[in-house]
Structure 1
């Protein structure tokens, strides 16, 4: 799995296929996001939507719609049943959609292998503290271990398992309040003082978290990091001045960057972040439509201004199209059996969650 991710990062430039004549003139494309309109997935789709509309033949209208519920499984289950074949329906998934699939959540009624991935992109994540607790943070979690934190969470089987497990490994006492519909709602809880610790994916942090830091209301704690060509965790290129969880763990008493807990955390980090957001066409979509979308996303990424504008909106991460997107999907929907077993046992012990 590590080699697959590294190979993807090293080969982001792909050649778009020859495209048959597909024309979307006068049509409206609905891009469904299974989260609320306040989170990182919303910002990701809203960033790409107008670029995609301009790149598709006929320049259709691309409208982003939201279908939150059950940590995104509601929207994914709905998408599984759709049979559009004209390219007017697109679906965006995130790590919080991938993790229930990976863990065998009984609420999952969708199968990624049935869908057609046309674009995938990586992201990062930033954890941050309120001003009072942030004043105690010295690059380690040692002074935070006696504090009782509150965190707004979509659910322990969602992407939130990455921060929840990280905080536990650091010896911190973080009580999740489950049931929010998107990470943006978690940020709103933090802003209102209902939560005292939070994390956002890169797009969400760039949009809202940075403002909180600049206002003195939040203090960055750590990122999850990024992967280098050898599969090592290094600093996130979007936030190079913020230490990684690995660095904070190494500096914190009792936290280990080897062993079962670390291996499980890293496996789910790899599945959830280097390839975190994917755009799909539904089952049954004709190949010429798939090729047209592939060519359009390839044109978006190849634009001379793309790197500059994307770094400010969604972060400095690779974007995969065509066969690269399909390969990325494989990376995002596979974890080693031992990592899955560890996380399932941890979910039961920490939160009483059993997936049957």
Structure 2
């Protein structure tokens, strides 16, 4: 029997390889002209959130590089944790190149979990940009743990994690802790990861994670002051689907390395397969931009080319700062395999997660 670890890595690689073979030869992007038109970029979240900021950052560069330089405006359609707006886009958006959808891990998660409120099929959308992000898990320095190799010393100790919810992006650390074998009590009700960090600083939480920018801004000073110790980053996926160290934290081991440091062997099993699916959707390919089903190949190619040119634009590179960080943006044909990895889950892993959430956190999705 093959190792589940190999199956997990192999599944990612297989998706990427299949996507590469399936890419159709695009029509000429030059045949597309959006002169005098307006593109609506649907964001199923309120103004000011991470996805809204991301889209508003990209919008002027996209407008500059699309054929005809159309006006690109953001249309916020919040509700249902992003399910409402995504359902509406799937039902109403016309495949004429004038409607674009930008989502986040909290949109992909309900889809992966089989939430009955979901009326969209991620496989129907045409990805034209995929943006990753990262995060770092850390604990108090007072525990006396210097790195992940020593985590076995506190394996039986109850840790407290201040969570935004069992099906939010906090599902990724939840699954990571489960795979590692840590004893973590999840306290729900946080309105943001900033609340979780403050709970950590007050001593109410004893394990936490922050996204890359928040970690660099707010947690690195705690580490430098001797108050916190980083355990692992989630890492990033390379073009072959292998987990690599986060470019923002090259000196911090990624999750797979941390597991092996703690247990002496690579992770495996259905819980790990589930972790990989939600890590991919929540971090490695967190924010995709997509066109609706039925969009003509030449329009899809025009968007992929425009985003590739936008990412290479010196003005964007100079301004990307905290919005994009040091992460490579997936553009052109690279969007397809990464998007497929982030919107796919093995049925056995899905059922395991649903059962885990039901039995441990009273979460039902039917």
Band the TM-score falls in, shorter-chain normalisation: 0.7 to 0.9
Match of 2:303, SS state, is helix
The equivalent residue for 2:218 is 212
Does the 8 Å CA contact 1:152/1:177 hold for their aligned counterparts? yes
Q: TM-score, normalised by structure 1?
A: 0.78
Name structure 2 gaps, 5 residues minimum.
1-10
Q: Distance in 2 between matches of 1:95 and 1:37?
A: 17
The equivalent residue for 1:126 is 136
Q: TM-score, normalised by structure 2?
A: 0.76
Q: Distance in 1 between matches of 2:235 and 2:129?
A: 22
Change (3 A) 1:311 1:148: same
Match of 1:279, SS state, is strand
Deviation for aligned residue 1:223: 0.9
The equivalent residue for 2:82 is 72
Equivalent residue for 2:341, pick from 319, 331, 338: 331
Does the 8 Å CA contact 2:163/2:188 hold for their aligned counterparts? yes
Does the 8 Å CA contact 1:222/1:243 hold for their aligned counterparts? yes
The equivalent residue for 2:4 is none
**1:25-71 Cα deviation digits (max 9, x unpaired):** 3x443323233555543443233222212212343443334444333
Deviation for aligned residue 1:176: 3.9
Match of 2:74, SS state, is strand
**1:287-330 Cα deviation digits (max 9, x unpaired):** 54433322211212344676676576424444334544334332
Match of 2:330, SS state, is strand
Deviation for aligned residue 1:92: 0.9
Does the 8 Å CA contact 1:28/1:62 hold for their aligned counterparts? yes
The equivalent residue for 2:184 is 173
Corresponding position: 1:163 with 2:163:
no
Does the 8 Å CA contact 1:85/1:286 hold for their aligned counterparts? yes
Match of 1:212, SS state, is helix
Match of 1:149, SS state, is strand
Change (3 A) 1:299 1:268: same
Name structure 1 gaps, 5 residues minimum.
none
Deviation for aligned residue 1:232: 4.3
Deviation for aligned residue 1:73: 1.5
The equivalent residue for 2:193 is 186
The equivalent residue for 1:278 is 288
The equivalent residue for 1:18 is 28
Corresponding position: 1:146 with 2:176:
no
